[in-house]
């Protein structure tokens, strides 16, 4: 009886002291966040963290409506999101946590090594529909072009850097995740897609863009034309616009920006924003 009572007291104490951390957003940042959450929960066993990766827009929307603590994003806030943030008397703090290059991927059997921004623009706006139009040496086969969906921050950056205000062709097949892009390109010899460089596997081939490889050095130097920062946002207004110091969000932020947290960025295949040596 006493043992049962003691066990009940311990369970109640654990529940009272337990904390939750809800993280939503970018599919690109998801592999990094998975490693962060796994290690963070080892460090803070009283924290229950949940992680969803359905797109940058979904994370920012969740932060706006108060259903998450941290929003992962592969893009900065849109003007409309900033307007809504101010309207709701909120203040989202952007933290650059990594750098990434958007890799243009094709099937390894296609026979192409490099592509230009202009050609990508013409493929994704529907002006080029066959590979022989890209290079006469390539097969006269229809290009199967894939894109992330509109909730994706990667999609937003692609619109800015490649489409440059032009309309995406209805021929383009929209996919829900970066992994779906990898799998689709791996199965189709005549496919093309784009994804965060951390997702690239041996199943696909990352092309040079404007003759520049998507390498760590080229992304950091800005030579690679499809480079971008990756973000984490949190709502400072929850803490009376004072930097949080003694709660689970503050602990998580300190961890992901620490050398240990930044080493996990590197492990996930991305480029740390800060030093990784202690």
pLDDT digits (tens, 9 = 90+) for 133-159: 999 999 999 999 999 998 899 999 999
Average pLDDT over residues 120-128: 98
Per-residue model confidence as pLDDT tens digits over 61-112: 999 999 999 999 999 999 999 999 999 999 999 999 999 999 999 999 999 9
Asked whether the predicted pLDDT for residue 17 surpasses 50, the reply is no
pTM: 0.84
Class of the CATH domain delimited by 100-227? alpha beta
Beta strand ranges found along 130-240 (DSSP E) = 144-148, 173-175, 191-196, 205-206, 208-209, 227-235
Q: What are phi and psi of 212, to 5 degrees?
A: -110, 130
Decide which of 125 and 16 is more confident. Answer: 125
- Tell me the C-alpha to C-alpha distance, in Å, between residue 116 and each of 123, 167, 194: 11, 18, 13
Of the pLDDT bands very low, low, confident and very high (cuts 50, 70, 90), residue 7 is: very low
2-99+229-272: CATH architecture: 3-Layer(aba) Sandwich (3.40)
Residues 97, 229: Cα–Cα separation, whole Å: 8
Domain ranges of the chain: 2-99+229-272, 100-227
Take residue 205 and report the two structure tokens written for it: 């081939």
For the cut 60, the answer to whether the pLDDT of residue 176 exceeds it is: yes
The predicted model gives 150-170 an average pLDDT of 93
Task: Work out the pLDDT band at 165, boundaries 50, 70, 90.
Answer: confident
Is the confidence at residue 225, as pLDDT, over 50? yes
pLDDT tens-digit series, residues 240-278: 888 888 899 999 999 999 999 999 999 999 999 997 765
Question: What percent of the chain is modeled with pLDDT above 90?
Answer: 85
Q: Do domains 2-99+229-272 and 100-227 have the same CATH topology?
A: yes
Question: E strands within 31-128?
Answer: 47-51, 70-73, 92-106, 114-115
């Amino acid at each position: 009886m006493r043992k049962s009572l003691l066990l009940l007291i311990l369970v109640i104490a654990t529940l009272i002291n337990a904390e939750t951390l809800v993280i939503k957003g970018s599919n690109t940042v998801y592999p990094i966040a998975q490693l962060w959450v796994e290690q963070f929960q080892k460090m803070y066993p009283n924290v229950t963290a949940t992680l969803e990766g359905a797109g940058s827009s979904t994370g920012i929307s969740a932060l706006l409506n108060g259903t998450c603590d941290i929003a992962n994003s592969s893009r900065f806030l849109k003007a409309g999101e900033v307007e809504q943030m101010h309207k709701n008397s909120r203040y989202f703090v952007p933290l650059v946590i990594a750098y990434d290059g958007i890799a243009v991927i094709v099937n390894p059997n296609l026979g192409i090594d490099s592509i230009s921004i202009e050609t990508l623009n013409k493929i994704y706006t529907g002006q080029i529909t066959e590979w022989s139009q890209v290079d006469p040496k390539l097969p006269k086969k229809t290009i199967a072009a894939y894109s992330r969906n509109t909730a994706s921050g990667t999609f937003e950056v692609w619109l800015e850097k490649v489409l440059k205000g032009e309309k995406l062709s209805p021929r383009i097949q929209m996919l829900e995740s970066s992994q779906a892009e990898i799998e689709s390109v791996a199965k189709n010899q005549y496919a093309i897609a784009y994804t965060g460089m951390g997702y690239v596997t041996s199943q696909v081939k990352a092309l040079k863009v404007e003759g520049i490889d998507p390498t760590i050095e080229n992304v950091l130097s800005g030579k690679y034309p499809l480079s971008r920062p990756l973000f984490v946002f949190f709502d400072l207004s929850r803490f009376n616009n004072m930097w949080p110091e003694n709660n689970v969000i503050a602990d998580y932020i300190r961890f992901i920006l620490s050398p240990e947290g930044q080493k996990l960025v590197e492990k996930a295949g991305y480029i740390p924003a800060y030093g990784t040596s202690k």
